[in-house]
Amino acid sequence: MIDLKYLQKNFDEAVDKLQKKGVKNDTLEELKLLFASLKDANSLYESTKAEQNQLSKLFGSYKREGKDTTELKAKVDSLKEEISLLQDRAREAEAALNDLALTIPNFPSDKVPEGADENDNVEISKVLEPKKFDFEPKEHWELAQQNGWIDFERGVKLAKSRFSVLRGDAARLERALINFFLETNRSKGFEELCVPFLNNSSMLQGTGQLPKFEDDLFKIEDENLYLIPTAEVPLTNIYNDEILTAKELPILMTGYTPCFRREAGSAGRDTRGMIRQHQFDKVEMVAISHPDSSDDIFDMMVQNASDILSALELPHRVVELCGGDLGFSAARTIDLEVWLPGQNQYREISSVSTTGDFQARRAKIRFKDGKKNRFVHTLNGSALAVGRTLIAIMENYQREDGTIGIPKVLERYM
RNA sequence: CGGGAGAUGUCGGAGCGGUUGAACGUGCCGGUCUUGAAAACCGGUGUAGGGGAACCUACCGGGGGUUCGAAUCCCCCUCUCCCGGCCA
């Protein structure tokens, strides 16, 4: 949730910022109007209500003193009707404002470059040189088939398209990766959590998936529950509606969860192979931080994800997302893209974002700064997407005969 | 899924329908005392919105109702706990 007071006071600046994210002026204009009309409706209701409260108090003392109350009662009765009307109006104004405000994306940070889409993202660095193959490297699905690692057909049979089954060494490798990631994150100070894979609507609103992106989620019929699209949802919302002490910050958390996505808008994209599935494993980092230290934590999280890729000896590049490519909740995002020799391109394997206080406002996560309560900053990032790491290992560690090597750091986990 | 109990501030736990935003304890902050700490004692401490301020409004799980007035009475929902069934 953006800061509506800020919007009101610095309207032009806010419009400017949100244009980077493709929000229309009209929407913000409307938001400003709704905010003003809520204030009006509220103060009118509150002052009238104050009057009624006064009279009701008076009524009490009249009764005690044995005075006649019929005149007083008549007065209050006439107020009551007016109040209920004013209250309805105030509530409507609040609901209208709230509905619209929840659909406004976060302000991009000043560091975010201008740009319309992923083509305008800025490469910051490349880490490790892609290895030269003296044969034509295969794509992961070929290797998967050859090694009996991934059973796409039976995944589809069990569920539907975009589901798959890992078998044998692939399943073991998946498990090894999860352990390796969790252990690495833990050694960097992240507490490991094991959380529910179903979260209720209020949590999904807290992190920004709802109300706008309901179509991207799997919902449980007859229950107010959704399969989580990322561990960011449960990990961030661990502190939903809580007030932390400054001493506790920063809180660094990591967790492994499967992630579930409808992929509603991506028909036809990455249909082959395991790049884009309805269910995939991911190890996530989440930080709840003091506003002053979130920039440093952001850098640390990017570095951590990159270090993990380096430890696996996987070539990758670091990319700063431009305004047009930023997600709804993000103020700033850096993607790590791993080199896939079979596809001959870099593909996203980790995405680290800071949301500033955007999610904290929605999820009401605050901390005591002296006497005052302030919103924390929340950050999240993958370290790493497990399925895509598996693919990267397959393509980067393939040998001419189609067999696949295992990264050294994983040996002790297999 | 069946039977019983409950939901109040950081936590524990009071609360005749009006001076209760909420006793008391605890926690936290400040002070006295102490070589230091503990203990003891004194003071301060909920959240959100509005207003320059005094102050006003809302909140005792959520929603509705009764009433001049509801944490307190009535109805619905949700959740939690205990007993039983089922079950990893």
pLDDT of residue A179: 97
Is the model's pLDDT at A267 over the cut of 80? no
pTM: 0.92
Residue A249: which pLDDT band, with cuts at 50, 70 and 90?
Answer: confident
How far does Cα A137 stand from its chain's mean position?
35
pLDDT of residue A315: 97
Sign of dihedral through CA atoms A37, A38, A40, A45? positive
Mean pLDDT of A262-275: 84
Tell me the two tokens of residue A222: 């007859």
Catalytic residues of A: 261, 276, 348, 351, 388
Give the containing element (helix H, strand E) for A198. Answer: strand A198-200
pLDDT of residue A369: 78
State, as a whole number of angstroms, the distance between the CA of A81 and the C1' of B68: 13
Rg over alpha carbons for chain A, rounded to the nearest Å, is: 27
Enumerate the nucleotides of strand B whose atoms come under 7 Å of any protein CB: 10, 18-19, 47-51, 56-58, 68-69
Name the residue with the least CA to C1' distance from nucleotide B45: A371
Closest CA to A308 of A345, A350, A276: A350
CB contact set of A120 (below 8 Å; sequence gap of 6+): A113, A114, A322, A324, A325
Nucleotide nearest to A52 (CA to C1'): B68
Give the position of tokens 């993958």.
Answer: A382
Contact A348, A138 (CB under 8 A): no
Nucleotide nearest to A368 (CA to C1'): B28
State, as a whole number of angstroms, the distance between the CA of A42 and the C1' of B50: 8
State, as a whole number of angstroms, the distance between the CA of A139 and the C1' of B84: 57
Structural domains of chain A sorted by starting position, each given as residue range(s) with its CATH number in brackets:
4-101 (1.10.287.40), 118-413 (3.30.930.10)
Is the model's pLDDT at A211 over the cut of 80? yes
DSSP state, residue A171? H
Q: Which residues pair with A393 in a beta bridge?
A: none
Percent of the residues in chain A that have a pLDDT greater than 90, as a whole number: 64
Per-residue pLDDT tens over the stretch A89-133: 999 999 899 889 989 999 999 999 999 899 999 999 999 999 999
Mean pLDDT over the full length of chain A? 92
State, as a whole number of angstroms, the distance between the CA of A401 and the C1' of B23: 80
Residue A193: which pLDDT band, with cuts at 50, 70 and 90?
Answer: very high
Contact A48, A86 (CB under 8 A): yes
Tell me the two tokens of residue A80: 């009551």
Residue A246: which pLDDT band, with cuts at 50, 70 and 90?
Answer: confident
